[in-house]
Homo-oligomer: A and B are copies of this chain.
Amino acid sequence: MTTYQISTELITNKKEKTPADQLGFGQVFTDHMFVMDYVEGQGWVNPTITAYAPIELSPAAMVFHYGQAVFEGLKAYLTEDGEVQLFRPDRNFKRLNDSNKRLCIPAIDEELALNALKELIRVDRDWVPSAPGTSLYIRPFIIATEPYLGVNPAKNYKFMIILSPVGSYYKEGINPVKILVEQHYVRAVVGGTGEAKTAGNYASSLKGSELAAQQGYSQTLWLDGKENKYVEEVGSMNIFFKIDGKVITPALNGSILPGITRDSMIQVLKSKNIPVEERAIAFEEVLTAAKNGTLEEVFGTGTAAVISPVGELKWLDEIIAINDGQIGEVTQMLYDTLLGIQYGTLEDPFGWTIKL
């Protein structure tokens, strides 16, 4: 049996809430946060809910130098009957521990983390926004805090959870996005950290995104690092192609993030008897399908972006328009199903949601 006690230090002066239409993504934070420290020899200690406030770190804290930092992203949703629910949060804490393993960070107690999260949201319950499309974005993360310049796993860490009420991720809403297939830069390679959610993966992706943005594309589609040939994933989404009636998504080969939305959508597709394949997809297969008219839909899946239809792909000099820039039928069905389950307007046959 796990025994732990989360101590709670509530603030007295609550911040003013930002109006729903000004929330944006990840800019507004709630009144409290969860913090727990790792001390070598003692393990994870002092789980505490306290005021959302700056943290103090040594300039030699290892996170600044050797990037031992992992994170998660999930959301809490307000249902029509005023309840707050989470979507598969156990999966996020499990994946956090997978990321920990890759970066030599000590595992957290997943049950404690989930209880801490629930308690934190209860404390900041009035921050869960209610306008359509809004939610409370949850960011658990772990950073190495030991002040030491040797390249070794740190002896001290901080695990924190912060909360941010958010609007939709894409300013464009559910409108199809334009994606550039990256040719030069690589996000991850098998044997690297691509399947973990490490801070460094995102740093390395910025350059490609910057170049894509300069060409008017809002996201980068990454190809594999070995052959620059196979489709991997988008900046913060997994990717799916509907070709000739079948839905195909890259298999979890070790260099792409095992998205929780990806896994959920595969289950939804199967439950509706829509054929779905997880396998390697050379980008040329997508191009061929586009040329012979069998590329029916393309969409991304991710917690922040939900289901994001892709309206255009650019690869070298080829511009591929998908479904006349319209949202495809399967994409729309998945979007409606996912949001329905998340916001509690549809039944949840999979048992994915957890009420506070």
Residues of A within 8 A of B (CB): 25-27, 29, 33, 52-60, 63-69, 71, 102-104, 137, 139, 141, 143, 147-153, 160, 162, 164, 184-193, 198-207, 209-210, 225-228, 235-236
B residues less than 8 Å from A150 (CB atoms):
25-27
CA distance A149 to B191 in the complex (A): 27
- Contact present for B184 and A64 (CB under 8 Å): no
7 interchain residue pairs of minimum CB distance = A200-B200, A26-B149, A67-B199, A186-B191, A67-B203, A66-B202, A189-B189
Known interface pairs A26-B148, A150-B26, A185-B191; A202-B67 also in contact (CB < 8 Å): yes
B residues less than 8 Å from A59 (CB atoms):
29, 33, 52-55, 160, 162
- Closest residue of chain B to A149, judged by CB? B26
CA distance A201 to B209 in the complex (A): 19
- Closest residue of chain B to A104, judged by CB? B206
B residues less than 8 Å from A29 (CB atoms):
59-60, 147
CA distance A207 to B103 in the complex (A): 6
Known interface pairs A54-B56, A149-B137, A186-B191; A71-B65 also in contact (CB < 8 Å): yes
- Contact present for A57 and B60 (CB under 8 Å): no
CA distance A199 to B144 in the complex (A): 12
B residues less than 8 Å from A193 (CB atoms):
200, 203-204
CA distance A191 to B27 in the complex (A): 31
B residues less than 8 Å from A186 (CB atoms):
189-192
- Closest residue of chain B to A186, judged by CB? B191
- Contact present for B54 and A151 (CB under 8 Å): no
Known interface pairs A59-B162, A192-B192; A143-B204 also in contact (CB < 8 Å): no
**Can you give 16 contacting A-B residue pairs, CB < 8 Å?**
A27-B148, A54-B59, A55-B56, A60-B139, A60-B164, A64-B141, A67-B67, A103-B206, A104-B207, A151-B202, A151-B206, A151-B236, A184-B191, A192-B192, A193-B200, A225-B226
CA distance A188 to B193 in the complex (A): 10
Count chain B CB atoms within 10 A of each CB in A64, A188, A202 and give the residue with the most: A64
Picked from B25, B198, B210, B236, the residue with its CB within 8 Å of the CB of A200 is B198
CA distance A160 to B22 in the complex (A): 34
B residues less than 8 Å from A67 (CB atoms):
67, 69, 198-204
Known interface pairs A54-B57, A60-B162, A190-B186; A235-B151 also in contact (CB < 8 Å): yes
Tell me, rounded to whole Å, the shortest Cβ–Cβ distance linking A299 to chain B. Answer: 19
CA distance A160 to B147 in the complex (A): 15
B residues less than 8 Å from A103 (CB atoms):
203-204, 206-207
CA distance A52 to B199 in the complex (A): 26
- Contact present for B25 and A149 (CB under 8 Å): yes
- Contact present for B26 and A60 (CB under 8 Å): yes
CA distance A66 to B204 in the complex (A): 9
CA distance A199 to B70 in the complex (A): 13
- Contact present for A199 and B65 (CB under 8 Å): yes
Known interface pairs A143-B64, A200-B198; A206-B152 also in contact (CB < 8 Å): yes
